[in-house]
Amino acid sequence: MNLTDSRRVAIDTLLAIDLDGAYANLKLPEILREARLSPRDAAFATELVYGTSRLTGRYDAIFRMITNSRSMGDLDAPIRAILRMAAHDMLALKTSPHAAVSQAVDAAREYCGPKPTGFVNGVLRTLSRRELSEWKTDVLAERDGLAHWYSHPAWLVRELSAALAAHGEDPGEIARLLVANNNPPQVDLAVKIGDRDALIHHLPVPLEKTPYSPIGLRMERGNPGRIREVRAGKIAVQDEGSQLMALLAARTPIDGPDEKWLDMCAGPGGKAGVLAAEAAHRGADLVANEVSPHRTELVRGALAPFPDVTIRTGDGREIGAAEPESYDRILLDAPCTGVGSLRRRPEARWRKRPSDVPDLTALQRDLLASAAAALRPGGILTYVTCSPLVAETLTQVRHATKALGLKQLSAPDLLREAIGTDIDLPEGAQSVQLWPHRHGVDAMFGAVFTK
């Protein structure tokens, strides 16, 4: 049996991710376009790429056991990709060991010549002799076994456990969180223009209402691009957690005028779309600001149905000084590690470093100071991250109240009262921290302040 086209596509994509820092969601479609696979083979290649990328840490731990601690980094890149893919083929997709091993050996020969075929064959045969549950017991018993088995960097597991505890959750839930990070998310849609209850019956794919967001629809399967309203920008693909944060920013009641709104870090324009729809209903003017020119163009695309929004490129850190006390309502959806949305980006967790955090938290602090200065007294500032890490969330809230003198409002109460969302959150929490394993959404954080 020759190497199948779907496995060749998977190996090429895994190599590009490993060697060139490619993103699976961009590279795979490019390679699939050239390969012209049948829809079924394309789906198989997609599962191989995404599944292998998500569970790389688990498979590497098993290979270290089989090879007496030989590091995967010492192997040639194609052999690394082939072994990981074959492990996923066998252990997760339940391809027969005979077929999976023979495909891997063919692949090794095609990519690297005959020399490594014996090694690949031997390692995979050893892997196939034990059940998944037996490997699990052994890997979990290792130091950092939880991180290895659930395929996350060990530092990140420590940070996520600390975040669960700090946000009032049970840190014993960490394994459930890691499992949820390894499950591909459903597709959520936000209805920006139109009535969700009327639309749900007229759209060409089966949809349900999201459990928490009053503007959300959920698709378990299918291609949102088939929906005309999605192509027209009236409905947008957006995680339900992000929808809730945008609604929190838009609907928190305010004393006095409510006319000038700012989205300080708007790219690529997801939450700005929700804000624009709300601003249009309520006669407010929205400024959508973004530092990166390329991402400003994405905002322009996302806001095409809302021509009244002012879209501009600029550094949010300068707005406070340039436009002091000018805005009634500000959303600061801050640049962050993004470790709350690991479900979406299978390779992302391996690219984050603990050393990324201090630069980001410094930027977040500067943006918060600028937002606080740009807010008029009595205005509303909503601080959001797609990360639950303590340094990016609760530490920044403390900074906002202690150093910047902002007053925090209860975001859980506001979710209930202003958005009508009854969501299970820890008793006494003042901020909202959502979790994939608890709420089925990205781990978004939101805190609301006034000054």
Ligand X SMILES: C[S@@+](CC[C@H](N)C(=O)[O-])C[C@H]1O[C@@H](n2cnc3c(N)ncnc32)[C@H](O)[C@@H]1O
323 binds ligand X (CB under 6 A): no
Span interacting with ligand X, options 64-72, 269-277, 279-287, 418-426, rule CB under 6 A: 269-277
- Burial code of 402-413, b = ≥16 C-beta within 10 A, e = fewer? eebebebbbbbe
Coil, helix or strand for 274? helix
Burial class (CB within 10 angstroms; exposed 0-12, middle 13-18, buried 19+) of 367 = buried
Nearer to ligand X, 43 or 362 (CB): 362
Asked if 270 is part of the footprint of ligand X (rule: CB under 6 A), the reply reads: yes
CA gap 243, 34 in Å, rounded: 35
| Bridging pattern class, strands 216-219 and 187-191 | antiparallel
Site for ligand X contains 295 (CB under 6 A): yes
Stretch binding ligand X (CB under 6 A), from 51-59, 206-214, 285-293, 392-400: 285-293
138 vs 297 by CB, closer to ligand X: 297
Known binding residue 267? Answer is yes
Considering only residues 192 to 251 of the shown chain, the ones binding ligand X according to CB under 6 A are 242
Window contacting ligand X (CB under 6 A); options: 38-46, 117-125, 259-267, 344-352: 259-267
Which of these ranges, 153-161, 172-180, 224-232, 263-271, lies near ligand X under the rule CB under 6 A? 263-271
CB of 1 to ligand X, least distance (A): 45
Long-range contacts of 426-433 (CB under 8 A, 24+ apart): 426/167, 426/168, 426/169, 427/168, 428/168, 429/167, 429/168, 430/397, 431/167, 431/393, 431/394, 431/397, 432/244, 432/245, 432/248, 433/163, 433/167, 433/169, 433/388, 433/393
Rounded least distance, CB 315 to ligand X, Å: 5
Residue choice 241, 335, 379, 412 for contact with ligand X (CB under 6 A): 335
Query: Does 241 belong to an annotated binding site?
Result: no
Among 32, 219, 250, 265, binds ligand X (CB under 6 A): 265
Count of residues interacting with ligand X (CB under 6 A): 20
Query: Which of 89, 290, 392, 442 is close enough to bind ligand X by CB under 6 A?
Result: 290
Q: Using CB under 6 A, pick the residue from 78, 224, 268, 320 that binds ligand X.
A: 268
Q: How far is the CB of 27 from ligand X (least distance, A)?
A: 21
Return the structure tokens found at 315.
């550094």
Q: Is 315 annotated as ligand-binding?
A: yes
Phi-psi region of 358 (alpha: psi -120 to 50; beta: other; left: phi over 0): alpha
Instruction: For the CB of residue 355, give the shortest distance to ligand X in the complex, in Å.
Output: 18
CB of 270 to ligand X, least distance (A): 3
Helix axes 97-112, 117-128, angle to 10 degrees: 160
SS (H, E, C) 365-401: HHHHHHHHHHEEEEEEEEEEECCCCHHHCHHHHHHHH
Q: 73 near 56, Cβ under 8 Å?
A: no
Q: Does 316 engage in binding with ligand X (CB under 6 A)?
A: yes
CA atoms 117, 122, 127, 130: torsion sign: positive
| Binding piece for ligand X, criterion CB under 6 A, among 30-38, 85-93, 264-272, 374-382 | 264-272
Q: How far is the CB of 335 from ligand X (least distance, A)?
A: 4
DSSP-based three-state secondary structure for 206: coil
- We find the least distance from the C-beta atom of residue 48 to ligand X, in angstroms, to be 29
176, amino acid identity: R
Closest approach, Cβ 386 to ligand X, in A, equals 6
187 touches ligand X by CB under 6 A: no
Q: Find, among 220, 215, 213, 187, the residue nearest to 199 by Cα.
A: 215
73 in a known ligand binding site: no
By CB under 6 A, tell whether 291 contacts ligand X. yes
Q: Is 366 annotated as a binding residue?
A: no
Find the part of the chain contacting ligand X (CB under 6 A) among 18-26, 171-179, 261-269, 404-412. Answer: 261-269
Catalytic residues: 386
Among 51, 78, 116, 267, binds ligand X (CB under 6 A): 267
Q: Which is nearer to ligand X, 42 or 245 (CB)?
A: 245
What does the block give as tokens for 66?
Answer: 């089989």
Nearest to ligand X of 14, 276 (CB atom): 276
Position among 4, 126, 292, 401 found at the interface with ligand X (CB under 6 A) = 292
* Cβ-contact 192, 305 below 8 angstroms: yes
Helix (H, G, I), strand (E, B) or coil at 409: strand
Q: Which residues pair with 188 in a beta bridge?
A: 218
Question: Does 290 belong to an annotated binding site?
Answer: yes
Burial class (CB in 10 A: 0-12, 13-18, 19+), 359: exposed
CA 386 to chain centre: 7
Instruction: Tell whether residue 333 is a contact of ligand X (CB under 6 A).
Output: yes
**Taking Cα atoms as reference points, which of 183, 158, 161, 156 lies closest to residue 173?**
161
Residue 114, preceding bond cis, omega within 30 degrees? no
Q: Which residues does the annotation place in the binding site for S-adenosyl-L-methionine?
A: 265-271, 290, 315, 333
* Chain residues that interact with ligand X, rule: CB under 6 A: 242, 264-271, 289-292, 295, 315-317, 333, 335, 386
Q: Which residues does the annotation place in the binding site?
A: 265-271, 290, 315, 333
